[in-house]
């Protein structure tokens, strides 16, 4: 047995008998950037953070106090894995308002949709299974699924959703088990699937055994345009929606949900038991109290108005300060704008310059499984003031004009 006690950190990393699973998970470059951007002097468009100025603080304090004051021992006892039933009923009611019938029994409360993604990976993926991802896609999902050692296959994301030709070819040629999709205001691109593409995707998938995971943490944040139906509506037996309170109330509460058929739910419950028994019952009660004591619609309208304005200010600044050849998405909601620069630009190099000028963003190649996309970047607009958005985009524009 090797002596670990006096070994250097590098030797320890080499000597410990880590699993193939953990070696397989890519490090989050994003978290590294976020460490850098904690400095208050840096204007950060890097994180995917909701704006903490808009957290409903007074209402959360009130909900917390009410729950604690009236708490009985059950509030601090072990609880059921599926989650707090009144909260699951509230989620079910929210779906019903959108014309989707999901009974509370088919809703599992999780610690973040991040845990939902991980549990789905755990119950579905065997090493070597084929998993379809959008290109580019959410890094947290790539990380979660990587632990289960699948073969990733990607299809390009276009302005109105996934490339249908590629999707059809991939589905025909491979036994795709899961298709992970973020159809509303995608992270990282801000792109949403059009109605036509949703219908076309559903009709392609219908001929296969692939299950579509519809990760939708941003769907409630639509500033403009019409609501578009969930895949649960157009591909009912074959889709699993994930929802989240993170972007609309507060992410630190870590409460989200998976909606799935009974058979899948049974497996998810076993997987969650093996993982953490259940989500924190106190916070579930606090969120539920918040939801019944407040008008969610008016809270949502308030934050959507503010985020919509921040998006407009960022787009105006991009039009004014970035070189004319730059292409960018104009999301109808969510938190991100995706920038595509001419081929010769390298956004990882540009980031180094930008940090010197006290501005940060995420280089786009972080979101590509094949590390392509060197000329792309993700900009977050939700977490900066109007002044910082104007200032930061002006600085970035200046760098882009002069770097090559």
Ligand X SMILES: Cc1ncc(COP(=O)(O)O)c(C=O)c1O
Interface size with ligand X, residues (CB under 6 A): 14
Give yes or no for residue 47 binding ligand X (CB under 6 A): no
Q: Does 217 bind ligand X (CB under 6 A)?
A: yes
* Contacts made by residues 350-355, CB under 8 angstroms, sequence distance 24+: 350/377, 350/399, 350/400, 350/403, 351/33, 351/377, 353/399, 353/403, 354/395, 354/396, 354/399, 355/36, 355/42
Residue 223 vs 257, nearer CB to ligand X: 257
| Residue closer to ligand X (CB basis): 82 or 118 | 118
* Residue 301 CB neighbours (<10 A): 11
356: exposed, middle or buried (Cβ count in 10 Å: 0-12, 13-18, 19+): exposed
- Beta pairing partners, 240: 213
Q: Are 338 and 188 in contact (CB under 8 A)?
A: yes
Q: Of the two residues 52 and 209, which places its CB atom closer to ligand X in the complex?
A: 52
Report in angstroms how near the CB of residue 182 gets to ligand X at its nearest: 5
The answer to whether 333 contacts ligand X (rule: CB under 6 A) is no
Residue that the structure tokens 């998810």 belong to: 268
| Residue among 150 and 397 whose Cβ is closer to ligand X | 150
**Is residue 215 within the footprint of ligand X (CB under 6 A)?**
yes
List the structure tokens of 131.
């998993």
- HSE-CB for 330 with a 13 A CA cutoff: 12
Residues 75-114 as x/- pattern, contact with ligand X by CB under 6 A: -------------------------------------xxx
Q: What is the nearest approach in angstroms of ligand X to the Cβ of residue 244?
A: 4
CA–CA separation, 376 and 364 (whole Å): 5
Q: Does 329 bind ligand X (CB under 6 A)?
A: no
Q: Tell me the Ramachandran region of residue 220: left when phi exceeds 0, alpha when psi lies from -120 to 50, beta otherwise.
A: alpha
In sequence order, what are the beta bridge partners of 110?
256
Q: Which of residues 283-322 bind ligand X (CB under 6 A)?
A: none
Contact criterion met (CB below 8 Å) for 348 and 365: yes
| Contact in structure between 350 and 342 (CB atoms under 8 Å) | no
Minimum CB distance to ligand X, residue 306 (Å): 18
Residue 173 Cβ vs ligand X, minimum distance, rounded to whole Å: 27
Beta-carbon count within 10 A of 98 CB:
12
Shortest distance (Å) from residue 218 CB to ligand X: 7
Q: How far is the CB of 357 from ligand X (least distance, A)?
A: 26
Q: Which of 53, 39, 23, 31 is nearest to 386 (CA)?
A: 53
> Pattern of binders to ligand X over 219-258, x per CB under 6 A?
-------------------------x-x----x----x--
Shortest CB 140 distance to ligand X, Å: 5
Residue whose CB is less far from ligand X, 82 or 256: 256
User: Nearer Cβ to ligand X, position 111 or 400?
Assistant: 111
The footprint of ligand X on residues 108-167 (CB under 6 A) is 112-114, 138, 140
Which residue, 303 or 326, is less far from ligand X as judged by CB? 303
Smallest gap from residue 210 Cβ to ligand X (A): 19
For ligand X, the nearest residue by Cβ is 112
Among 30, 42, 44, 48, which residue interacts with ligand X (rule: CB under 6 A)? 48
Please give the full DSSP string across 84-128, using - where no structure is assigned.
Answer: -HHHHHHHHHHHHHTT----GGGEEEESHHHHHHHHHHHHHPPTT
Task: Estimate to the nearest angstrom the gap between the alpha carbon of 97 and the chain centroid.
Answer: 23
Contacts with ligand X by CB under 6 A lie at 48, 112-114, 138, 140, 182, 187, 215, 217, 244, 246, 251, 256
């Amino acid at each position: 047995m090797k002596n670990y006690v006096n070994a250097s950190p590098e030797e320890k990393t080499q000597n410990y008998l880590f699993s193939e699973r953990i070696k397989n998970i890519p490090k989050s470059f994003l978290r590294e950037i976020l460490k850098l951007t904690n400095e208050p002097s840096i204007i950060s468009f890097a994180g995917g953070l909701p704006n903490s100025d808009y957290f409903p603080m007074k209402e959360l304090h009130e909900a917390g106090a009410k729950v604690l004051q009236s708490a009985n021992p059950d509030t601090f006892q072990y609880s059921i894995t599926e989650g707090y039933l009144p909260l699951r009923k509230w989620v079910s009611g929210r779906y019903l308002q959108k014309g989707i019938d999901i009974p509370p029994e088919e809703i599992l409360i999780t610690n973040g949709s991040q845990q939902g993604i991980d549990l789905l990976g755990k119950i579905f993926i065997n090493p070597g299974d084929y998993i379809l991802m959008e290109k580019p896609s959410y890094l947290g999902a790539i990380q979660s699924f990587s632990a289960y050692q699948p073969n990733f296959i990607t299809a390009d994301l276009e302005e109105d959703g996934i490339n249908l030709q590629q999707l059809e070819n991939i589905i025909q040629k491979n036994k795709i088990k899961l298709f992970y999709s973020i159809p509303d205001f995608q992270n990282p691109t801000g792109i949403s699937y059009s109605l036509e593409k949703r219908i076309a995707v559903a009709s392609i998938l219908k001929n296969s055994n692939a299950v579509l995971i519809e990760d939708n943490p941003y769907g409630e944040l639509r500033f403009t345009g019409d609501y578009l139906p969930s895949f649960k509506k157009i591909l009912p037996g074959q889709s699993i929606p994930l929802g989240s309170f993170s972007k609309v109330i507060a992410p630190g509460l870590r409460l989200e949900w998976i909606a799935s058929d009974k058979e899948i739910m049974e497996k998810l419950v076993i997987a969650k038991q093996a993982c953490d028994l259940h989500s924190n019952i106190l916070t579930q009660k606090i969120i539920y109290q918040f939801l019944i004591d407040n008008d969610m619609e008016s809270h949502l309208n308030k934050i959507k108005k503010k985020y919509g304005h921040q998006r407009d200010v960022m787009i105006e600044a991009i039009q004014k300060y970035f070189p004319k050849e730059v292409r960018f998405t104009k999301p109808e909601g969510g938190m991100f704008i995706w920038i595509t620069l001419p081929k010769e630009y390298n956004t990882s190099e540009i980031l180094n310059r930008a940090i010197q000028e006290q501005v940060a963003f995420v280089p786009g190649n972080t979101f590509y499984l094949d590390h392509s996309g060197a000329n792309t970047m993700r900009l977050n607009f939700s977490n900066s003031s109007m002044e910082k958005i104007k200032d930061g985009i002006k600085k970035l524009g200046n760098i882009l004009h002069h770097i090559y």
